[in-house]
Amino acid sequence: MTNNFNRSSSHDSVHESALSLNSLALKAKQYQILLKFRLTALVIFSGIFGYLLAGNGTINWASFIAFIIGSFLITGSANTINQIIEKETDKLMKRTANRPLPTGRLSISEATTFAILLALVGTVLMVSFVNVLAACLSLFSLILYAFVYTPLKPKTPFAVLVGAFPGALPPLIGWVAMTGNISIEAMLIFSIQFVWQFPHFWAIAWVANDEYAKAGFKLLPSEGGRNFNSAFQIMIYTMFLIPLGILPARFGMVGIGSAIVATICGILFLFQTFYLLKEGTNKAALRLMFGSFFYLPIVQIAYLIDKL
C-alpha cells in the first residue's frame, strides 16, 4: 500500500512539473508575441545592411553581435510599449484582438517590466560594445516610435510622417554602429528608407482601412481615405525612390550595377502605383503592399553585393 502511495505521489509530482513547464512555455510565447518578431527581424536586417555597407570588409565580431542583439532588444521594447498604449484599440481590430494584452494573457505591469528590461539590457550592450551615438539613436528611435508616433495614430494622418523617422533609422544606426559618426552616406541610406515608408505604410493602411477605422485610425493621406487623391500621393512618393536609388552610386558608395537594380525595382514599384491609381481597389493596394516588401530588401542586398 505504501508503494502504491509513493507511486501516486511521484506521478502527481511529474504531472505538476509538466503543467508548470507548459505554463512557462505559454507565458514565454506571449512575451515573444509582444516582440513582434517578424517586424523586429526586418528592422535588424536594415540595421545589418547599414553596418556592412559602412564597413571595409573587416568586422569586429563582438561589436557586430552586440549591435544585433542590442538593436533587437530595443526594437522589441518599442514594440511592447506600442502594444501597451494601444491595448484598448487592439481589442477593436480582428488582426490584433488576440494579442497578449487585449486578451489578458499578460498584464500591463508584466509588459511594462518586460519593455524596461529589454531597453536597459539593449542599451547597456550598445554602449559597452558598440558606441554611445548608436545607443542614443536607438533610444531616440524607441521614444519617437512608442511615445510620439503611437499616440498620434488616432489623432492625425501626420502620424505616418512621424513614424517614417524611426522606421528609416535602422540603416543609419547600423552605419553609425560601424563608423561612429553620421555622414552624408548614412543620410542617403536613411533617405531611401524614409521615402519608402510612405508607399509601404499607405498600401497597408489602404488594405486595412476598415479595421483601422474601427480603432479610430485615419492613416491614409487623403481625408476621403481610399480615393484617387490617396493613390496619387502614394505614386508621387514612390516616384522619388528612383532618383534616390541612384545616389549611392553617384557618391561612390556602390557601383553602377546596384544602381541599375535599384532603378529597375523603382520603376516596377512605380508601375504598381499606376495600377492602384487606375483601379483604386484593395487588390491593387495589396499588390503594392507586397511590392513594397520586395523592393527594400532587394535594393539593399544589391547594394551590399556591389559593395562587397
Q: What is the pLDDT of residues 50-75, one digit of tens each?
A: 999 998 878 999 999 999 999 999 99
Q: Could you please report the per-residue DSSP string of 263-297?
A: HHHHHHHHHHHHHHHHH-SHHHHHHHHHHHHHHHH
pLDDT higher than 60, residue 109? yes
Supply the angle between the helices 184-207 and 282-307 in degrees, to the nearest 10: 160
**Class of residue 260 by CB neighbours under 10 A (exposed 0-12, middle 13-18, buried 19+):** middle
Confidence of residue 306 (pLDDT cuts 50, 70, 90): very high
pLDDT in tens, 197-236: 999 999 999 999 988 888 888 889 988 889 999 999 999 9
Domain limits of the chain?
Answer: 14-182, 184-308
State the residue for C-alpha cell 517590466.
Answer: 113
Domain 184-308 has CATH 1.20.120: yes
Looking at residue 107, what DSSP letter applies?
Answer: -
Do domains 14-182 and 184-308 share one topology? The answer is no
Instruction: Give the Cα separation of 254 and 258 in Å (integer).
Output: 7
What is the value of pTM for the model shown?
Answer: 0.90
Instruction: Give the Cα separation of 16 and 20 in Å (integer).
Output: 6
116-132 b/e (C-beta count within 10 Å ≥ 16 → b): eebbeebbebbeebbbe
Average pLDDT value for residue range 91-115: 93
Architecture of domain 14-182: Orthogonal Bundle (1.10)
